[in-house]
A and B are shown apart, each in its own frame.
Chain A
């Protein structure tokens, strides 16, 4: 347990402020990613066939495995929060490490995918080549693909750093673990929407 900063009445109020602060920040993050999802919707409505063709060039196996990895990491970070609430410091650290490791595996697989995209000339404005009939919308799709997955990866890197820092310095402080966990879950939620919109547009 941590002490009480002087602006708070009691521990409970301090804890609620920390949670509220993180949720308000996450609301701004919803708007930040929301814009990209909005652009995606407008562009997909404009180029439906091109988006379908482009989506078939993503690696659905890696995308699905990565989704499973992130969902599992949300489970492990929830277990870290649970352990910290039971004052089990060593167990908290262990679950935080597992969470960070799962995040790293996700990034490694994403890096492999980016390399594949590069070899297949799918990077917009950089030797981009696609079957002529769908090239225009496909380039828009891949611009959005790299913008959204890239920003998601940046958030995940921050998440990994936050989780490791908490494991090192604040595993004893259950509020720190709870608030760090909220951020991790948010990054997971962004991917929950990216997965069907990027990988599953037209598989049937």
Chain B
């Protein structure tokens, strides 16, 4: 595999640290439920940065991308099915 540009990795790292500062700062602002929404949105964004740039999904084959998505897909499926129990208990 050809090496990626150093700058790409550097900017990704700086973006991750900026997102960390943002999630930390946002936790001290009163937003009710939106605190959780913002925190999770930032966590997902950081994860995408790590997976696409650092784990090189940007240049991976479709087969590898499918394998990468499969874990999250099954987790969503199993969590969804389990929630049909927890959300319907009276």
Measured CB to CB, the residues of A under 8 A from B are: 15-16, 19-20, 23-24, 26-31, 34, 38, 41-42, 60, 64, 67-68, 71-72, 74-75, 77-79, 82-83, 85-86, 174, 178, 181-182, 185, 188-189, 192-193, 195-197, 200, 202-204
Across chains A and B, which 7 residue pairs bring their CB atoms closest together, nearest first? A27-B71, A30-B71, A196-B39, A75-B13, A200-B27, A23-B67, A34-B75
Q: Given the complex of chains A and B, what is the CA–CA distance between A74 and B68 in angstroms?
A: 18
Report the minimal beta-carbon distance from B26 to chain A, rounded to whole angstroms: 8
Q: Given the complex of chains A and B, what is the CA–CA distance between A53 and B31 in angstroms?
A: 17
Task: Decide: A204 and B68 in contact? CB cutoff 8 A.
Answer: no
Task: Decide: A196 and B50 in contact? CB cutoff 8 A.
Answer: no
Report the minimal beta-carbon distance from B72 to chain A, rounded to whole angstroms: 6
Report the minimal beta-carbon distance from B51 to chain A, rounded to whole angstroms: 7
Q: How many A-B residue pairs have CB under 8 A?
A: 122
Task: Decide: B30 and A204 in contact? CB cutoff 8 A.
Answer: yes
Task: Decide: B75 and A30 in contact? CB cutoff 8 A.
Answer: yes
Q: How many residues of B contact A (CB 8 A)?
A: 47
Q: Given the complex of chains A and B, what is the CA–CA distance between A192 and B31 in angstroms?
A: 21
